[in-house]
Structure 1
């Protein structure tokens, strides 16, 4: 109750501050321009109606005043802890960059609210130079309706402006620059039907090995990075051409070709044909919705894994499919996006740290696989932090938003589980298969990666159980809240049952009730009622039903 009253008082103070600033801006502009102005949307309508120089001035004034009042209002809301009477209300974060749409929305709301207030006050007060003067003159004559209306509109305006301002962060994410990609993003949010993303159904009826990109196109242009090395020398070419990569095919050193972007069938086909990749595997590279898998051939190993990325802005886990082609002297990796966890590996290659430059492609493949599995630990750590915060929130004040977060987190854990469980099978087959492309020494390291996969699975299952228990805790917290409410209502009802009975007895219409003629019977009845209430409260307290 205290919190609600404090919030209402804060909105009243903010609304009055808006009204004062509004009157100051209007009075100043009226004096400077020598035109009777209102500062609300009626200036715009009047300017459109006149359609002359004065009309253009009125329209310009409405636009300028809207921007000025909006900026001032947002500053007040952002720093409202200096204007708020009730200091326990949480500070509302307003982003430092306010979009054009935000200014239009907030300004239009303020302008319309003042127009509405002018119109309603005009029904109860004589039109004067300003609303403040109308309220003052009406109050002197005993008419307090304009004052009450101004208080009501101030509270409403305060709530509306604070509410709209609190949503500007989500608006700014969409409208921050008004570029073409923002409009495309907005259209995708409004309608998923316009998406050109291909799905598995688009491959129905096609020949086996047809190169069709399945999934979302995450980069515009395909980029190729080439690293060639041996124990003494290393050559690194960023944004290499296909010809540069094909030249390395006949070299005996180790070549790591990293292709970023799997949507171009021409690139996939050219690399696949040049290095002898089976057409079905070429098609699998372009299908980003497949589960992790591994295939062994005489002269190469083909495997696919999922690399998780945690999006800090949306809180989502985004899975990237990475395909490996491991041969005797060449390692081809196909990524969907540029971001990865391989920078430390590239640094080790450049600075010749460890045994990576002394080993062959199987060891390089192990190092890359180990980086992918380790990336799961980073994502799980993020999820663990979120779950801990949710647990604290559940103990203090669970809300419907908490339930939405729990459900969202549950879906993310399912997504992680679907990607890491098949990886266990991939790593197990890789370390057990008797292929000449994987040396026995490298298999020892692969067993360590396999153990990491088991650890990731255990952590994932543990977090799934935690998220599931958080959902039970949320339901229990709601049940406990409901029980507290029901207990309070039951105590109140129990107290009033006996005294309601007494009042009901003496409220009957019998002609003869002896004690009604007693001079002190009323006070005796009140005393009995009070005694019953005190006895019941004491009994409830003794049973620890209240005041615990």
Structure 2
């Protein structure tokens, strides 16, 4: 229960921070670069991969302008930037590749919904990336991609990501990434993110199974708090994934020549995966609703059991109270009161009545 309450408090704090960041942007001119998020790294890390089918060169935190100037003709470049708090650096990168200021503004807006935009000479795509589960919480960040004629730029909040395997394959020359154009790398990056959505929904599946078992065994306040926490996570994930479907649909329909004909079917495959993830989230939301109904029914049944026991106890004491009430009246002439064995007889009668009522309740299966 403490973990669930801690998650709710963190979520409230995150919502408060987002509200404060949004207030900074109110009234600002369009294209104004304002970082709307929490600083997650002290220093920006910039990885650069310059490659073709035959060779690859890797650089870390080198001057991008110098690398672009010395790049050989026919080589593609992937620039991965970790850390978005330095507006001057982001603006410098934008000027090097002639990126629109509105695009850079979206890059630095970490609360932006996933979307696709076609700028003609380049394509912009932003999406929520889920890195896995840490301390029973989804670890996520905002990631943006820019696809150009011979380059791909990725903007991330922090260095830890899910592209390790992709980097290894690119470096070792495995697969088709080095022989294909930058649009194929662009596809692989988005595909990796969408594939990791399955790990997120698997996390929810495990949580819901555990929660259902807990509710069946003991429907208490802790289960209700867990349900509320899972519900908020499901809503957030659905809100993050649902626009991805729309963005991918726009990407598929785009006639931009940066997306080659042989690469386009791969984006259709990602679109199908996104639909499947959304459908899974819908089924889990229905499952959570069923568990909530189960919890309410269990609580209601428990209350009914308590009321049944109290009612049976009250019913047993009704005749006993009647007898005690009659002989508790202070009339002067009551023959039974002067009888020597009146007291033990009264006890015997009340005990027999109690046993008969208990027997009757058991015959009726009320006990």
Aligned: 1:478 with 2:266: no
Aligned: 1:207 with 2:29: yes
Matched-pair contact (CA < 8 Å) for 2:18–2:36:
no
Moved over 6 A (4+): 194-197
1:272 alignment counterpart: 94
1:56 alignment counterpart: none
1:8 alignment counterpart: none
Aligned: 1:509 with 2:330: yes
User: Unpaired runs of 5+ in structure 2?
Assistant: 4-9
Matched-pair contact (CA < 8 Å) for 2:103–2:124:
yes
1:257 alignment counterpart: 79
Comparing 302-311 and 263-272, the one that deviates more:
302-311
2:113 alignment counterpart: 291
2:199 alignment counterpart: 378
Quick one: structure 1 residues 267 and 209, their matched pair in 2 at CA, closer, same or farther if it must change by over 3 Å? same
1:303 alignment counterpart: 125
2:248 alignment counterpart: 427
Correspondence list, 1:126-525, <5 A: 199-247=21-69, 251-313=73-135, 315-525=136-346
Quick one: structure 1 residues 444 and 500, their matched pair in 2 at CA, closer, same or farther if it must change by over 3 Å? same
CA offset digits 1:189-231 (Å, max 9, x no partner): 9x99x97995122112222111110111111111100112111
Cα separation, 2, equivalents of 1:273 and 1:444: 32
Displacement of 1:369 after TM fit? 0.5
Quick one: structure 1 residues 490 and 511, their matched pair in 2 at CA, closer, same or farther if it must change by over 3 Å? same
Give the structure with the higher percent helix.
1
Quick one: structure 1 residues 251 and 400, their matched pair in 2 at CA, closer, same or farther if it must change by over 3 Å? farther
Q: Secondary structure of 1:224's match? A: strand
Q: Secondary structure of 1:356's match? A: coil
Give the structure with the higher percent strand.
2
Matched-pair contact (CA < 8 Å) for 1:198–1:216:
no
Matched-pair contact (CA < 8 Å) for 1:225–1:238:
yes
Displacement of 1:514 after TM fit? 2.2
Displacement of 1:252 after TM fit? 2.2
Cα separation, 2, equivalents of 1:476 and 1:415: 27
Cα separation, 1, equivalents of 2:208 and 2:340: 68
Quick one: structure 1 residues 499 and 249, their matched pair in 2 at CA, closer, same or farther if it must change by over 3 Å? farther
Quick one: structure 1 residues 292 and 438, their matched pair in 2 at CA, closer, same or farther if it must change by over 3 Å? same
Cα separation, 2, equivalents of 1:496 and 1:246: 93
Matched-pair contact (CA < 8 Å) for 2:32–2:105:
yes
2:7 alignment counterpart: none
Correspondence list, 1:71-150, <5 A: none
Comparing 275-284 and 396-405, the one that deviates more:
396-405
CA offset digits 1:134-171 (Å, max 9, x no partner): xxxxxxxxxxxxxxxxxxxxxxxxxxxxxxxxx9x9xx
Q: Secondary structure of 1:199's match? A: helix
2:6 alignment counterpart: none
Which has the bigger relative contact order, CA under 8 A and spacing at least 6? 2
Quick one: structure 1 residues 352 and 540, their matched pair in 2 at CA, closer, same or farther if it must change by over 3 Å? same
Q: Secondary structure of 1:440's match? A: coil
Which one of the candidate residues 333, 336, 349 is aligned to 1:528?
A: 349
Matched-pair contact (CA < 8 Å) for 1:272–1:278:
yes
Quick one: structure 1 residues 259 and 535, their matched pair in 2 at CA, closer, same or farther if it must change by over 3 Å? same
Q: Secondary structure of 2:168's match? A: helix
Quick one: structure 1 residues 200 and 251, their matched pair in 2 at CA, closer, same or farther if it must change by over 3 Å? farther
Displacement of 1:523 after TM fit? 2.8
CA offset digits 1:233-263 (Å, max 9, x no partner): 1111233333344336674212110011111
Cα separation, 1, equivalents of 2:145 and 2:280: 26
Cα separation, 2, equivalents of 1:426 and 1:251: 32
